[in-house]
């Protein structure tokens, strides 16, 4: 009986560790772009999202690169949806521009059971020329895997940035006004 319990416990821990391994690329490693066809929709973005939330800790801004990670992952996932995202290009007056701002990012402990939950909330505005066409608010939370003990705070926030990049790219396929994406319970309005 003890052997079966030991095997079950080991299997459970292994599955939990694997489930939390969907982190971002390690520092210095960029996400690989995907080629898009010549008839792809084109959207211009900045290389970094802007921080607009006053409560975002300075160490998150200084140490974690979530402002650039979100944008890189939007480009990667948009390419898989046949949308060409041009980073730091020069759009013409009639081009489509997506502006992303980070309105909240938490990397502290004490957020419920497990205590290692982190989250990011972003807002996106899609402009055609200077006219606002559509917008979204998106939020993602991660606990960092099993007990959250083996990943850094920046790595866990990077996972949130990756998923927000995918959410944003999905939204770009058929953008709607005032959309709410991701972990909706974190979006308070």
Domain regions of the chain by residue span: 2-186
Alpha helices in the chain (DSSP H): 2-19, 58-63, 66-79, 153-173
- Per-residue pLDDT for 34 more than 70? no
Phi, psi of 168 (to 5 degrees): -65, -40
Label residue 33 by pLDDT band (50, 70, 90): low
Strand partners, 118: 142
Q: What pLDDT does residue 16 have?
A: 40
Residue 89: half-sphere exposure toward Cβ, Cα within 13 Å: 16
Quote the pLDDT of residue 143: 77
CATH number of 2-186: 3.40.50
Could you give the 3-state DSSP secondary structure of residue 183? coil
Higher pLDDT, 181 or 13: 181
Residue 106: pLDDT over 70: yes
What per-residue confidence (pLDDT) applies to 189? 54
**Mean pLDDT value of segment 98-118:** 74
For the stretch 88-118, what's the b/e string if a residue is b when 16 or more beta carbons lie within 10 angstroms of its beta carbon? eeeeeeeebbbbbebbbbbbeeeeeeeebbb
Give the integer Cα–Cα distance in Å for 66 and 162: 9
Within 13 A of 6's CA, how many CA atoms are on the CB side?
3
């Amino acid at each position: 009986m003890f052997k079966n319990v030991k095997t079950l416990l080991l299997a459970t821990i292994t599955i939990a560790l694997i489930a939390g391994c969907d982190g971002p690329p390690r520092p210095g490693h960029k996400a690989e772009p995907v080629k898009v066809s010549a008839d792809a929709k084109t959207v211009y973005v900045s290389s970094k999202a802007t921080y607009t939330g006053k409560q975002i800790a300075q160490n998150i801004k200084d140490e974690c690169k979530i402002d650039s990670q979100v944008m890189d992952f939007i480009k990667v996932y948009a390419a898989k949806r046949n949308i060409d995202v041009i980073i730091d290009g020069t759009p013409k007056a009639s081009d489509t521009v997506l502006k992303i701002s980070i309105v909240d990012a938490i990397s502290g402990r004490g957020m419920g059971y497990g205590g290692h939950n982190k989250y990011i909330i972003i807002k996106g505005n899609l402009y055609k020329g200077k006219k606002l066409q559509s917008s979204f608010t998106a939020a993602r939370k991660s606990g960092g895997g099993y007990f959250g003990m083996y990943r850094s705070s920046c790595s866990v926030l990077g996972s949130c940035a990756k998923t927000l990049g995918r959410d944003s790219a999905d939204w770009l396929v058929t953008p709607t006004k005032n959309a709410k994406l991701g972990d909706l319970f974190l979006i308070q309005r």
